[in-house]
Amino acid sequence: MDNNKMQRVLGIYTKLMGGYLVNKAEEALNYQVNERSIQRDIDDIRHYLDSDISTTGIVNSVVYDHKEKGYRLEQIYQLKLSNAEILAICKILLDSRSLRKEEMTDILDKLISCCIPAKNQKLVKDLIRNEMFHYVEPRHRKQFLDTMWQVGEAIRECRFIEVDYLRTKDKAVVTRKLKPVAIMFSGYYFYLTAFIDDEEVRRNFDVINDSFPTIYRIDRIQRLRLSEGKFHIPYSSRFEEGEFRKRIQFMYGGKLQRIKFKYYGNDVDAILDKLPTAKILAEDNEVYTIAAEVFGKGIDMWLRSQGDMVEVLE
């Protein structure tokens, strides 16, 4: 590249990066060249921006603005995550303690390698190194990601599944035919939310109404078989895990119930975050009366865990 061309390219590039409009005719007059030369300079800048994506993680594009009759720089999107974003994701994953150590390490390495520029990868790895070294994996030590993916496929295709499930209360392995509707995560574990398709089995449950699903820990599924049969749930009656999530604690199934209690603690925001359906009914000298809707018996465990800070009213 001769000095004149270098000066032109750098000048046009600086203008674009500064947010200015580049008019081909004006630049040709400014540098005393024809417009074809300016077009080639713009093409060179485009090629440079394309090659720079892998380093910066930012997708910039030189586009022609027909209204303004000139070229400008447009940041289409940021391809890679920022240092802060990937650090936050890594910390959340580590705190979840949801996977075996080797699986967690593998996922974090892939995230860091793929999602942030190479020059920043060592910094992020250094910030999570100690927590990764002392990582405590779940006691079940099961590989279940493939099973979870099979469940996801069955949900997407509305296919029945049959599972051999290790029951908690007596350690017995039971077989269930299920209509899977959602995968959820809570407190170290991934869960399958499903409706039991066997009326005889459902009679032994606290809740037999079709509107209330049952919940299974995915790591306790000993074997899973996909059925060729499909089920149909009308769109108006579809299971909405977002709404279900607001009303369930500790992933214990059960009926929908309404609770009301007084809170004597000093951080009511923590209560409102824990119970997304909660509403403050009254406040008197920093004592809050709160009502909420919740599914199942898990709320009882949580209320007892709050000790003197909570008084159950109904």
User: pLDDT for 105-148, tens place per residue?
Assistant: 999 999 998 887 777 889 999 999 999 999 999 999 999 999 99
The CA-atom distances, in angstroms, between 197 and each of 163, 194, 208, 230 are 12, 9, 11, 12
pLDDT of residue 278: 92
Helix (H) / strand (E) element for 302: namely: helix 298-305
**Torsion angle in degrees (nearest 10) through CA of 246, 139, 217, 188:** 20
- For residue 90, the tally of other CB atoms under 10 A from its CB is 22
Give residue for tokens 């119930």.
257
In a 10 Å sphere around its CB, with 0-12 CB exposed, 13-18 middle and 19+ buried, how is residue 275 labelled?
buried
In the 3-class helix/strand/coil scheme, how is 279-290 assigned residue by residue?
A: EEEEEECCEEEE
In a 10 Å sphere around its CB, with 0-12 CB exposed, 13-18 middle and 19+ buried, how is residue 24 labelled?
buried
**Residue-by-residue pLDDT tens, the chain, 314 positions:** 577 888 999 999 999 888 899 999 999 999 999 999 999 999 999 888 877 666 665 677 888 988 888 998 887 655 567 788 899 999 999 999 999 999 999 999 999 988 877 778 899 999 999 999 999 999 999 999 999 999 999 999 999 999 999 988 889 999 999 999 999 998 899 999 998 886 666 555 554 444 568 889 999 999 999 988 898 877 666 777 777 777 776 777 677 889 999 999 989 999 999 899 999 999 999 899 999 998 877 888 888 899 999 999 99
Measured CA to CA, the distance from residue 207 to residue 257 in angstroms comes to 12
